[in-house]
Amino acid sequence: MSYKLLKKDSQLLTKLRLVRRIKVDGRSKVETAFSFGCHRNTVSNLVHAFETDISPLVQQNLLINSFSLDQLEKLLFPLKDISTKPHHHPRQATQSQTDRVKEIFLELKVKVGPQRLSRILKRKFKDKDTASPLDASLAAMKLPQLKGIYKRERLKVEKARTASGVSRPLYDYTALSCFERMHFDTKHLLDKKSLPPKVYDYFSSHLDTLPKYEWNLIDAKSRFRFMAFSYELNSEYGLKFLLFCLQFIRTITNNINQGVVIGEDNGMEFCSGSLPKLSNWNSLLKILNAQAYAYNPYWDVRKNLIERSHRIDDDEWLIPRGEYITDEKSFLKEADDYWYYTNFERSHGGKGMNDRTPFEVLENSGLLGVNQFMKFPILILDHHIDSLRKCTEPLLFEYDVKLAEEKRQGVLLDPKTLLDISSKYDFFIPNAQKVLTYYLPVL
């Protein structure tokens, strides 16, 4: 076996055997080189290093006595091969960049992969006027440089796996249509478990001037999201925002024949687990060919789809951009930028997405007018609830009319009953002349 192969098993033991062949057995260097399958200069250099770098007493002990591998590691350390691995590459990240990435990964707890961290850094430090030169250089860093940092510093991302290791998708995404299955949920923006302490403390200091809750309606097929914010949670906000989003979808795509099934939890901002309330919601949603259901808290894992989107909000919005939010105006600007980014710019690696953006999935689905989705407004529900009421009043009016007709067992309503129902809604206030036409003159 050659000298190179022997060194792979035990480098220092092989070198000691070669030296002993010269020093103890009295073999020549040429003969030793031939028996070990190496060049005679290799033998000469090794013997010279043994004689010059190791003390005479240690040399004598090494040639006569036996030692363990751990002892040889210490005694023959001067003879150990120096690694030929390059210590630096001219294009790799600098030490200061490496330390900053480690700080973001470990202290800010942005424990994501290099590809995703690259997107986060570009979003966090895209404002070059306010970012430091070091942070601005992170935004311009190439993906291979980040991968090199992960490899050298052994930064590993924890991954969740099933017990059997088999992936179980929530839906058959090849057969699923856009806006066929949707999920509705709220997120508490000030989440101590998901935000790093530094970011959490910053938001806590601005608690009175910023919305506390984020409303999300996400499409399971395309991952397209409709977002809004509020200072409070109540079921009217939930119903009005849901109706507004569905009307927006129906108006743009004209897909009223496509049924929509919406999943939600049992929170107080929805139906609070009340079956009569859920039935009332579904009676109203039926007008838009939609229905809602409540997750079973014990086994229904379909809610994981929207719960995972909350993690994206933390990693790619609140953590990298939170420091630029100081008041309600800046909050709305950052929220609007993030909504556009997550729907129109950010590629998605989820099941059935194939690294496409949600908007690209909508485009490929063949739906009409999807470009109009860019006009969806980002609202603070507390400020715009009156506008949402006006938008949804026609649906509520139609719902009240159907209830009245059901009570009359399908008999058409008389004008006076219609007038009494419409009087509750601002969009349908008749003038005095129209009111008089509904009544016969009193003689």
Q: Which residue shows structure tokens 């250089």?
A: 137
- The confidence score (pLDDT) of residue 436 equals 37
> What confidence category does residue 362 fall into, taking pLDDT thresholds of 50, 70 and 90?
very high
> What confidence category does residue 83 fall into, taking pLDDT thresholds of 50, 70 and 90?
confident
Q: Which residue shows structure tokens 């006076």?
A: 416
- The confidence score (pLDDT) of residue 434 equals 41
Residue 320 and residue 323: Cα distance in Å, rounded? 8
The mean pLDDT value of the chain amounts to 85
- The confidence score (pLDDT) of residue 432 equals 37
Residue count of the chain, please give it: 443
DSSP character string of 8-20? HH-HHHHHHHHHH
* Residue 311, token pair as written in the block: 């993690």
The structure's pTM equals: 0.71
Domain boundaries, the chain: 3-79, 95-153, 181-380, 390-437
Q: Specify the higher pLDDT residue, 8 or 420.
A: 8
> What confidence category does residue 158 fall into, taking pLDDT thresholds of 50, 70 and 90?
confident
CATH 3.30.420.10, applies to 181-380: yes
Check the CA dihedral 228-233-238-239 and report its sign: negative
| Residue 113: count of CB within 10 angstroms of its CB | 15
> What confidence category does residue 46 fall into, taking pLDDT thresholds of 50, 70 and 90?
very high
Contact 135, 101 (CB under 8 A): no
pLDDT for residue 338 is more than 90: yes
pLDDT for residue 201 is more than 60: yes
- Looking from the CA of 291 toward its CB, the CA atoms found within 13 Å total 5
